[in-house]
């Protein structure tokens, strides 16, 4: 079967491409820059590259036509996006989803998988949420807003009878993770993590990127049309997350101070423009701070039952990530 894939060059996309090719599927990966390093990596895995862009619907028509399945994984994931850059995130996350899924339906693709996120469900509070959970609060970030809008478009297509399956990963971790948590983890591995933090009681479901890739691939070959599947290894409090990290080599072996929400928001508000001015990764920003104090508790039990998933425990997911980042840090030091 031929699978048309968007977002193959990203953090989830590369292991996802590997998982699909490993099943003997012919993968056609949409790429904006066929000569880029990430695109060449996909080609080395065995994927066929198709120049195009999810924001340009017609660029996908020819390579998508006749595919047995479409997997829409493209998206911009970033907190602290400036007002000037919100349009680009909306174009990819919302319009790109409408273009890709809409064209797949128009072309009669028999199986469509949309990669969404647990953030599309919103904060859960003290509840352990499953796929039936209904949003209770407004989005805390532009990313959450755009992915929620894209998720709603996908679920509306499902209601209209489209052969669509939705996969919703929890917070994805793994080597090379470019989220705020990923940057903090690398800071710890390199001995640079501050002993002052915030949101000790905030909690979030996490999942390893390799498990996400396997879960999405299983949606392609065994997911039930019309269903939504949460991909989650389990939930961890932030204080417990840091305690787990400290069982491994790194820096900041204890937290001296947990900032209150007002002080944490003031700190992030002050640091955000500095990071933006100097082109630094957006680790600390108001959106990241607001999300950190919230609770995002989701179970992957349905994916385990129906897709046969065996998620590694959340603790192991972090330990595997720490080990891989430690190896990467060592290679950089030697280089």
DSSP string for 138-203: --SSHHHHHHHHHHHHHHHHHHTT--EEEEEE-EEESTT--SHHHHHHHHHHTT---SEEE-TT-E
Question: Does residue 332 register a pLDDT over 90?
Answer: no
Question: Does residue 86 register a pLDDT over 80?
Answer: yes
Question: Does residue 331 register a pLDDT over 90?
Answer: no
pLDDT at site 287: 98
pLDDT at site 57: 98
Mean pLDDT (the chain, rounded): 97
Whole-prediction pTM: 0.96
Question: Does residue 217 register a pLDDT over 90?
Answer: yes
Instruction: Work out the average pLDDT over 41-45.
Output: 98
Q: Domain ranges for the chain, please list them.
A: 2-173+206-233+299-312
- Percentage of the chain beyond pLDDT 90 is 97
CB contact at 8 A, 298 and 128: yes
Homologous superfamily in CATH for domain 2-173+206-233+299-312: NAD(P)-binding Rossmann-like Domain (3.40.50.720)
pLDDT at site 320: 98
Q: Which helix (H) or strand (E) holds 216?
A: helix 209-222
Question: Does residue 45 register a pLDDT over 80?
Answer: yes
Question: Does residue 335 register a pLDDT over 80?
Answer: no
Instruction: Work out the average pLDDT over 35-64.
Output: 98
CB contact at 8 A, 216 and 167: yes
Instruction: Work out the average pLDDT over 171-193.
Output: 96
Question: Does residue 62 register a pLDDT over 80?
Answer: yes
Instruction: Report how far residue 195's alpha carbon sits from residue 193's, in angstroms, rounded to the nearest whole number.
Output: 7
CB contact at 8 A, 124 and 298: yes
pLDDT at site 333: 77
Q: Is 108 helix (H, G, I), strand (E, B) or coil?
A: coil
| pLDDT, tens digit, 9 for 90 and up, residues 229-239 | 999 999 999 99
Token output for 71? 């997997």
Question: Does residue 190 register a pLDDT over 80?
Answer: yes
Instruction: Report how far residue 124's alpha carbon sits from residue 22's, in angstroms, rounded to the nearest whole number.
Output: 36
């Amino acid at each position: 079967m031929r699978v048309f894939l968007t977002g193959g060059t990203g953090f989830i996309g590369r292991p996802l491409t590997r998982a699909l090719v490993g099943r003997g599927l012919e993968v056609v990966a949409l790429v904006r820059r066929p000569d880029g390093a990430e695109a060449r990596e996909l080609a080395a895995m065995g994927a066929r590259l198709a120049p195009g862009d999810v924001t340009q619907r017609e660029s996908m028509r020819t390579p998508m036509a006749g595919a047995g399945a479409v997997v829409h994984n493209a998206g911009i994931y970033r907190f602290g996006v400036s007002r000037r850059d919100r349009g680009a995130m909306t174009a990819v996350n919302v319009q790109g989803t409408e273009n890709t899924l809409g064209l797949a339906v128009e072309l009669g693709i028999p199986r469509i998988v949309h990669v969404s996120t647990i953030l599309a469900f919103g904060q859960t509070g003290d509840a352990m949420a499953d796929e039936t959970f209904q949003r209770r609060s407004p989005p805390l970030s532009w990313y959450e807003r755009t992915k929620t809008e894209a998720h709603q478009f996908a679920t509306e297509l499902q209601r209209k009878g489209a052969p669509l399956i939705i996969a919703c990963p929890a917070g994805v971790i793994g080597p090379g993770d470019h989220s705020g948590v990923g940057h903090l983890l690398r800071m710890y591995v390199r001995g640079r993590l501050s002993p002052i933090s915030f949101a000790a009681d905030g909690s979030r479901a996490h999942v390893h990127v390799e498990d996400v890739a396997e879960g999405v691939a299983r949606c392609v070959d065994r997911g039930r049309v019309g269903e939504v599947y949460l991909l989650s290894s389990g939930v961890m409090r932030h204080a417990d997350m840091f305690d787990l990290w400290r069982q491994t080599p790194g820096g900041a072996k204890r937290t001296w101070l947990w900032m209150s929400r007002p002080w944490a928001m003031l700190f992030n508000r002050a640091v955000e423009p500095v990071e933006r001015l100097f082109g630094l990764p957006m680790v600390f920003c108001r959106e990241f701070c607001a999300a950190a104090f919230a609770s995002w508790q989701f179970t992957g039990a349905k994916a385990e039952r129906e897709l046969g998933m065996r998620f590694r425990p959340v603790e192991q997911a972090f330990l595997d990530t720490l080990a891989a980042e430690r190896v990467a840090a060592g290679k950089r030091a030697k280089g």
